[in-house]
A and B are shown apart, each in its own frame.
Chain A
Amino acid sequence: MRGAAIENDEATAVARARAGDLDAYEVLVVRFTAPAHRAATLLGAGADADDVVQEAFVKAYRQLGRYRGESGFRPWLLAIVANETRNLLRSRNRRAGLLMRAAVREDPMPLEPDPAESAEATERRRFLVEQLRALDVRDREVLVCRYLLDLSEAETAMTLGLPKGTVKSRTARALTRLRDRLPVKEVPGA
């Protein structure tokens, strides 16, 4: 029931924002800043994630007339965030040039070491991040959305502007490609 109440709140806030109520829009800004920022960061915006989020909220407000509400406000906003992040990466690459790409500013995927974890596990994780970053951007995007951001298939489709079937096939392909890059894990007892 609580989920339904929140959904209803969200629909009301969107409806009022669409009628020009900036107070109602602020409710949405407060609720979705953190997920939008996390998505922007992990999709590669790094230290520019805050700028991406602000731009996305301004654009989302001006495009509210196109919002249909099928899968909620979050994936709809994340689609704008993903698009802004792509624009950012494109202009950053143009600025930096291809040779500099590997050394671009801050790490877009900062890894926080867990002190309780073994050095081996931390090392494996770091390696996983490196291989993820080395993937083709289209493969990386679906994996980031589906598993790192924990979005559903439908939400991922909306965020990346892809048909659902494409999300499914691209996810499978990306997983295979990522696995090919990883050393075979030793299975205990084998």
Chain B
Amino acid sequence: MPEHDDLIGELRELGRALAVPQPVDQRNAVRARLARPAPHRPRVRLWLAAAVAALTATVTLVAPARAAVVEVVGDLLRVAGIEVRREHPRGSLPANPSPLPSTRTADLAEAERAAGFRVLVPELLGPPEEVLLADPDPGGRPRVVTLVFRGGTVRFDQFAGNLSPLFRKTAPDAQWVELAGVPDGAIWMASPHPLTYADRTGTEYTATARLAGPTLIWDTSELITYRLEGFATLEEAVRVAQSVR
């Protein structure tokens, strides 16, 4: 736009001459607001209410066979291997995530051989950047297989869920949601929450408690439990979860 060069010059000059007051320091205010759970929009809440109602019916129907797998007991949500307490976390949240015990890297084929179950991959995310095997038994069989995507911002954990809870989570905003192909539904936690890992002896590792981002968890009839972490919205998490093959 050469015919406007002088006007453009004047506008740039004007930009420099406009006085903008000092901005307020936003650090504390933003942090305080992020520490509170995100408010749910009414539309979403209605949809969730419908999902919970549908699931309650499902649970009633399948309860005898699946009682050990999915329970809704007061404010305790449970998918095989994961227990979610719907309450506010006590104490402050850990700032720096720490890894699961005895973690080593592997490739997908090796992970599958070692784990003793089929290791699945969310197709939408492409091949994993890293495959991690954690907390092996004396024979070397890992309890948890983790696939890492997008520079570590997305984690996909999978493990045999017919065990006592491995992970304990405290998330006041945990909700049951419907997931196609998963009869018992999934649990969605929209805001970051503390995650505690319990090892083979049942000892809870408060030292390995880490702050998990928004997470979707579900299990299958083969009692393999999946945990997908790192997507800000439920829609996106569900889309990726449905691409798991």
With known contacts A18-B153, A65-B230, A148–B27 Cβ distance under 8 A: no
Identify which of A23, A29, A38, A179 contacts B20 (C-beta below 8 A): A38
Binding stretch for chain B, among A53-61, A71-79, A83-91: A53-61
A11 to B17 CA separation, bound complex (whole angstroms): 32
When each residue 131-161 of chain B gets 1 if its CB lies under 8 Å from chain A and 0 otherwise, what string results?
0000000000000000000111100000000
For residue B20, which residues in chain A have a CB less than 8 angstroms away from its CB?
37-38, 41-42, 49, 110
A20 touches B30 (CB 8 A): no
A125 touches B152 (CB 8 A): no
Binding stretch for chain A, among B83-91, B106-114, B210-218: B210-218
For residue B57, which residues in chain A have a CB less than 8 angstroms away from its CB?
none
Is A9 part of the contact surface with B, judged by Cβ < 8 Å? no
Please give the number of chain A residues whose Cβ is less than 8 angstroms from any Cβ of chain B in the complex.
Answer: 53
With known contacts A49-B23, A128-B14, A66–B29 Cβ distance under 8 A: no
With known contacts A54-B30, A175-B4, A111–B19 Cβ distance under 8 A: yes
Smallest beta-carbon distance B33→chain A, Å: 5
A66 touches B38 (CB 8 A): no
B18 touches A58 (CB 8 A): no
B11 touches A143 (CB 8 A): yes
Is B44 part of the contact surface with A, judged by Cβ < 8 Å? no
B153 touches A66 (CB 8 A): no
A11 to B151 CA separation, bound complex (whole angstroms): 9
With known contacts A30-B27, A53-B26, A21–B12 Cβ distance under 8 A: no
Identify which of B4, B10, B34 contacts A22 (C-beta below 8 A): B34
Is B61 part of the contact surface with A, judged by Cβ < 8 Å? no
With known contacts A22-B34, A34-B23, A111-B18, A66–B232 Cβ distance under 8 A: yes
Is B192 part of the contact surface with A, judged by Cβ < 8 Å? yes
B153 touches A19 (CB 8 A): yes
For residue A132, which residues in chain B have a CB less than 8 angstroms away from its CB?
14
Smallest beta-carbon distance B195→chain A, Å: 10
For residue A54, which residues in chain B have a CB less than 8 angstroms away from its CB?
24, 26, 29-30, 33
Smallest beta-carbon distance A186→chain B, Å: 13
Is A138 part of the contact surface with B, judged by Cβ < 8 Å? no
Is A129 part of the contact surface with B, judged by Cβ < 8 Å? yes
A20 touches B19 (CB 8 A): no
With known contacts A26-B31, A29-B30, A111-B19, A21–B96 Cβ distance under 8 A: yes
A21 touches B211 (CB 8 A): yes
> What are 28 A-B pairs at a CB distance below 8 A?
A19-B230, A20-B97, A22-B35, A25-B34, A29-B30, A30-B27, A37-B23, A41-B21, A50-B23, A57-B26, A58-B33, A62-B38, A63-B232, A65-B230, A65-B232, A65-B236, A66-B232, A110-B19, A125-B17, A128-B10, A132-B14, A148-B14, A148-B15, A148-B18, A149-B15, A150-B12, A171-B1, A182-B7
Question: Closest 9 CB pairs between A and B?
Answer: A65-B232, A20-B192, A37-B23, A112-B19, A148-B15, A147-B11, A20-B213, A18-B153, A175-B4
Residues of A within 8 A of B (CB): 11, 15, 18-23, 25-26, 29-30, 33-34, 36-38, 41-42, 49-50, 53-54, 57-58, 61-66, 109-112, 114, 125, 128-129, 132, 143, 147-150, 171-172, 175-176, 178-179, 182, 185
